[in-house]
Structure 1
Amino acid sequence: MSDHVVSHRIVSDLHFAEHGSRVRHLRTLEALFDGPRQVVFNGDTIETRFLDMDPAYAVRRDELLAFTARWGERLIVMTGNHDPDVSAIHHLELCDGHVLITHGDILFPDLAPWGWEARYFRKEMERTLALEPAEVRATLEAQLRAAKHAVVAMRDLSPRYPGPSSHPWERRLRFLLAIRRIDRIIGGWRETPDRTAALAERFRPQARAIIAGHVHRPGVWAVRGRWAINTGSMVPPLGAMLVDVVGRELHLRRWRVRRDVAEIGPVFRRIDLDASVPGRA
């Protein structure tokens, strides 16, 4: 039956070949294509902001281009804040608009409250939006375009530019700075379900489920009559899950990579898009 066919499988935050990512080789991801008609990489698949900084980034980009060419229309690569120019697809709407998919980099007005970008992103995004016509400025499409532009525009301010260091002292310093940010990271995790629901309330009120990534914390929450779903990340420690779209249902599965092989778990939750949404107001 067509209702049992997986039309789309959504994952995010693969961070291919980045430090800490479980995805070291793109062949690892081939198991994701076993079953669904289309696979969606929902942002932060790869790092594209520093292609001129390190030849390795350009090599990975070329590998991804070859991988997408191989799978053709079966693979949809969307943008994130690490790969704002990897494609022109910033969001998707499925199931007659009842499912909204976007990376999540506009959930927070400062992109990531725990990151170096927080000091610059809001100002750059406001400056970019001011250039849009007034009637366009408040649309989801304009907000997403501005976010991607802001990420590229402030690239040179990154502490990763003009190049990473392999010195042990710098790695230790980054670790200590990460510890100092832990309260902001946890605060962002707590806010994510409400902010995800608010995104739909503002831009796509018909959406019953919003699927995002960005914060590297997998989970599913019922918030004000909607489902807020986050698919986590291939960067530890919290893990990842994927969403299969099967007719008018969303099937949630955990997945991981072990020894360069993707392992997809059984369905642990089914969401009926036509059923009432339980949970907190």
Structure 2
Amino acid sequence: MIRHIEPEPGERIRLISDVHLGHARSTVGNVETLRPLLRGCDRLIVCGDLAETRACAFQARGMEMKHAFASMCREEGVLLHTIAGNHDPLEETSVLKLYGGRVVAIHGHALYKVGAPWGWEYLNHKQACRDLIARHPLCDTDLEDRMALAREMALLSPPVLQRPHVSKNRLLRFMAHCGWPPSRPLAIIRAWMTMGGLIHRFTERFFPEARIVCFGHFHRCGQWKRAGRLYVSTGAFFKNARPSIVDLSDGRVTGIHTESWLTTKA
């Protein structure tokens, strides 16, 4: 679950997250549009939610696109490392540590015990979530237990992708899904405003040796420096979001950027 990698000197490493292959709102409709992303790196690390692999309406398409993307990485000679997110919780690696733990890559859903406090999975199953948390009494002090909780929480209930029973009007359905109850959009805004502090406290508790921490989950790009560390939120390849691409070499960040062709759906 917690994996360590020691890259060779000069290896070029690229990190992204939240591609959501197969999802109707992903900005990647064809994996070929991601081929330029693979050029200029030796390893690609996806910090969770590469594809929709949970049991849902997007699962078959997500699995198909995931396999196609993995094949493309092999064609380009790029080593692909995938980290478990809440949309692909069965990936083997939950935390990836590089350069002796000086660089850490995670998804970010483990920052919350409930995974995503704005998600319908939690809003519709609050008691079940509380019961699951109670079965992980070490999750505040033990990283393995915290990541096990994150995985089980992601598998606890099927995702709610839309609310077709509300109305035939697409706008009303969207408002009902995203804007009701009011606590849902408020929780999203609060998460965006507090994610810097959340990741800092999580790092202090579970991997204080880290100097660079890259994470996804929030669909919001950002970077912060605190207590001698650099934190980078890698955004998302998703409608109304944008991805942030992080390049590393020899344990140092060599670039953080977005590219317009990465958000062009084909």
Per the alignment, residue 46 of structure 1 pairs with 51
1:123 alignment counterpart: 130
**What residue identity is the alignment partner of 2:36?**
A
Shift of the alpha carbon at 1:19? 2.3
Which amino acid counterpart does residue 116 of structure 1 have in structure 2? W
TM-score scaled by structure 1?
Answer: 0.78
* Structure 2 counterpart of 1:68, from 67, 70, 75: 70
Rounded Cα–Cα distance in structure 1 between residues aligned with 2:102 and 2:134: 32
Equivalent position amino acid for 1:117 in 2: E
Of 79, 87, 100 in structure 1, the residue corresponding to residue 104 of structure 2 is: 100
Mapping 1:11-160, distance limit 5 Å: 11-51=16-56, 54=57, 57-72=59-74, 74-85=79-90, 87-119=91-123, 120=126, 122-130=129-137, 138-155=141-158, 158-160=159-161
Unaligned runs of 5+ in 2: 1-7
* Distance of 2:130 and 2:97 partners within structure 1: 29
Q: Please report how far the alpha carbon of residue 70 of structure 1 lies from its aligned counterpart in structure 2 after TM superposition.
A: 4.8
CA RMSD of aligned residues (A): 2.7
> TM-score, with normalisation over the residues of structure 2?
0.82
Number of residue equivalences? 248
Residue segments in structure 1 that go unaligned for 5+ positions in a row: 262-281
Within 5 A, what are the aligned runs for 1:202-281?
202-250=205-253, 251-256=255-260, 257=262, 259-260=264-265
Which structure has greater strand proportion? 1
Say if 1:259 and 1:236 are closer, same or farther in 2 by CA, change over 3 A.
closer
Letter in 2 for 1:194: G
Instruction: State the AA in 2 paired with 1:217.
Output: R
Aligned partners of 2:249 and 2:157: how far apart in 1?
40
* Letter matched to residue 160 of structure 2: P
Cα displacement (A) at 1:171: 5.7
Question: Deviations 1:84-142 (Å, cap 9, x if unpaired)?
Answer: 11x20111111221111000001123322222233437425414425xxx6x8832122
- Residue type of the partner of 1:91? V
Q: Which runs of 4+ in 1 moved over 6 A?
A: 163-167
Q: Is the 8 A contact 1:193 1:223 kept in 2?
A: no
How far the C-alpha of 1:9 sits from its partner, in A, is: 0.5
Q: Which one-letter code corresponds to 2:27 in the other structure?
A: R
CA distance in 1, matches of 2:220, 2:251: 25
Q: Distance in 2 between matches of 1:78 and 1:50?
A: 18
Partners of 2:59 and 2:118 lie apart in 1 by: 24
Aligned to 1:278: none
Letter paired with 1:103: H
C-alpha displacement of 1:183:
2.2
